[in-house]
Chains A and B, each alone.
Chain A
Amino acid sequence: MVVLTCGASISGAIGEDHTVQPEEVQPVQLLTPEGKLTENEVYSPFIAGLSAEQLRELYRYMAMERRLDAEATSLQRQGQLALWAPALGQEAAQVGTIAAIKSSDMVFPTYREHAMALYRGISPEQLLTLFRATRHTGWDPSEHNFHVYTLVLAAQTLHAAGWAMGINQDRRTGSIPRDRAEDEIVVACIGDGATSQGDMHESMVFAASYELPLLYFIQNNHWAISVPTRTQSRGPLVNRAKGYGIEGVRVDGNDVLASYAVASRLSGDIRAGRGPKLIESVTYRMGAHTTADDPTKYRSSAEEQLWEGRDPIRRFRTWLSSEGHADESFFTDVDAEFKDLAADMRKSVLALESIDLERVFDTVYSEPHRQVETEKAWLKDYEAGFAEEQTEAGTAR
């Protein structure tokens, strides 16, 4: 269903609901905000096979991310993290999507895919390493099929396209790596704001032209720091896919079941050789852009409350309970588990060791470089000089 409202204002009045766009495409939704399951001819079959245990796992990861987010925010407030970018509110979009693809499929994240990272077995302290600024990244991409976070956004969509070109090349030459699936795909994550970047366009051109096995996963959380999505795009982002000859689907990103179903269908189509696909997952950044941000300056509490009512976790919990997929003891256990996780995480984050500057010198290049070696040696001598002075001073005393 497309609703057109001509001449809608794009003024920046704080009181208005910035999450309504001039042109709307109804997103795929299976679970209503009230937690009622609806029937969808195309998408319902994709969740029919999910066992109660699998459903509870989806919930677990969503709850884990939310707990991690709260703990990370408080760590930042206490000066223990340089910065934190909360994913609060985007748990269903992320968990539903990553649960629908294979663990051997490579994912190229932005810097806010915490729930996806957790799902891939990246530990909270690995995840927070970047934000504590002890290292630029806490994990080896090859161990999780999850690339390191990208901060200069949209760049990763081209890396994903290149990775997908590699997949096609492997297939052509019959040299599929042993640890990869024959029907491997790749996921490029991006937010509403960064879809305005030129690299996103170039990535979609490459993906369409070379028929790449690539799934674009746009999380439209409605805010690029302080700028609403409708400054990035007049119409729904999903409509852009058509211009490239790519199928796109708009999904309610606060509905984990719909997120799972849409990602399942589209990834299946990609695996079947039907080329790249795009998901616009409509969600909401319930928190600030980062801990350095102040949303009260640009959006209304009415808008925040509206989206509070669409909370992805509450909705799913209501349904799990009402259907008997999880009982109260499950939720109590999950809460207890993540209370412990938060405490452990705090300990392990505070214990994170900083990289040595020597290691930075050693990784600038993979082969020796004269200037790097000279500067590394100079720093060593320079700092040794201080150590000697201290020793001498100690001896004199």
Chain B
Amino acid sequence: MSGIKEMVMAKAITAALRDELAADPKTLLIGEDIGALGGVFRVTEGLQAEFGTHRVIDSPLAESGIVGTSIGMAMRGYRPVVEIQFDGFVFPAFNQITTQLAKMHSRTDGNVKVPVTIRLPYGGHIGSIEHHSESPEALFAHTAGLRIVAPSSPQDAYWMTRQAIVSDDPVIILEPKRRYWLKGKVDMENPAPDAFRAQVLRTGTDATIATYGPLVPVALAAAEAARAEGRSIEVVDIRSISPLDDETIARSAAKTQRLIVAHEAPTFGGIGGEIAARVAERAHHRLLAPVLRVGGFHMPYPPSSQEHRYLPDIDRMLEAVDRSFSYQRSA
């Protein structure tokens, strides 16, 4: 019997939640509209009917309350999995996440564990209205105590979700909402690689594009397009933002000697800058060009009628590849 199934990312996450609810009676889901409705993206569809209203909890409309009570439940031995409806609505819970959830283990000298998982549908390209398309990962990555992962495929979504829930640390899963309906094979018997490591998805020799979440398919398409122009692009799926697998990224950059980092979040103060600095520290002498960043602009996420100009796409990535090749190493 094969445990490999073809499914869309949203349903892979549903399957992961179902399997963890079944595996551990202490695992609970809590969020707005996750019960009868199955969540605004239907990711929790059917789970309340299957596990009951007390394990799949429809919460009041209060994000700080959802995260704050999840911390309290976690202190008592539960494993709450929080659904925040959209990226832009996580901020009412920002204090609970950063001053409480992230610090609890450390400030109690390791005596209190808070295994809370926060599912955060994030990113743009869904033609929505304001506050529904943001990428706030850098704000959380800067906070010690949180783990942050971003799956790019149904297989990763399934396993990362399961690994996040069983982790004793708080984990934020950035779910690339524009990829919820991306189909792929999920091997339910053989775990995907460690959720907190990067993965080389496509090997190449001339340049590396490192990215995560929704831009991974874009990077793979850019690499394919570059091949037609005679360039061999390596694609690294960063997967985990905290911890950051800078070793795998730097190894690829040292090999291809050119690195482009892409994310939807604004480049200013973003993860790309952190990666650029780390790769420069590790592989400066191997690089033929500075690490280049492709990302959003230093502006609030624009009205979605303009998001096609705001979001990195294949052409923006290829332009960065071209720019990387335009640098001449001085003698």
Contacts and interface: CB of A to CB of B under 8 A. Distances in A.
Interface of A: 135-137, 140-142, 147-148, 150, 152, 155, 157-170, 172-173, 175, 177, 198-199, 202-203, 205-206, 209, 355, 359-360, 362-367, 369-372
Contacts of B2: none
A141 B109 contact: no
Contacts of B105: 363-366
A88 B74 CA distance: 34
A359 B111 CA distance: 13
Contacts of B110: 362-363, 366
B75 A206 contact: no
Interface of B: 25, 28, 54, 59-60, 62, 64-65, 67-78, 80, 92, 95-96, 99-100, 105-113, 144-145, 147, 167-169, 196, 242-247
Nearest to A152: B99
A166 B62 contact: no
16 contacts: A140-B109, A140-B111, A141-B111, A150-B100, A152-B95, A158-B69, A158-B72, A162-B72, A162-B75, A163-B72, A169-B28, A169-B78, A206-B59, A370-B196, A371-B244, A372-B243
B248 to A, nearest CB: 10
Contacts of A360: 106
A199 B25 contact: no
A106 to B, nearest CB: 8
A127 B258 CA distance: 55
A162 B60 contact: no
Nearest to B107: A136
A202 B73 contact: no
B72 A198 contact: no
Contacts of B72: 158-166
Nearest to B240: A370
Contacts, number: 146
Contacts of B99: 152, 155
B164 to A, nearest CB: 12
The 4 A-B residue pairs with the shortest CB-CB distance in the complex, in nearest-first order: A162-B72, A158-B68, A166-B76, A202-B65
A126 B31 CA distance: 37
Given A155-B95, A160-B72, A369 B64 contact: no
Contacts of A367: 167-169
A72 B20 CA distance: 49
B255 to A, nearest CB: 20
A360 B106 CA distance: 7
Nearest to B52: A172
B168 A165 contact: no
A226 B105 CA distance: 33
Contacts of A355: 109
Nearest to B59: A206
A92 B205 CA distance: 74
Nearest to B74: A162
Given A141-B108, A363-B105, 9 more contacts: A140-B108, A147-B75, A169-B78, A172-B54, A205-B62, A205-B65, A359-B109, A370-B244, A371-B242
Nearest to A360: B106
A371 B243 contact: yes
A171 B193 CA distance: 38
A158 B246 CA distance: 37
A199 B107 CA distance: 21
Nearest to B109: A363
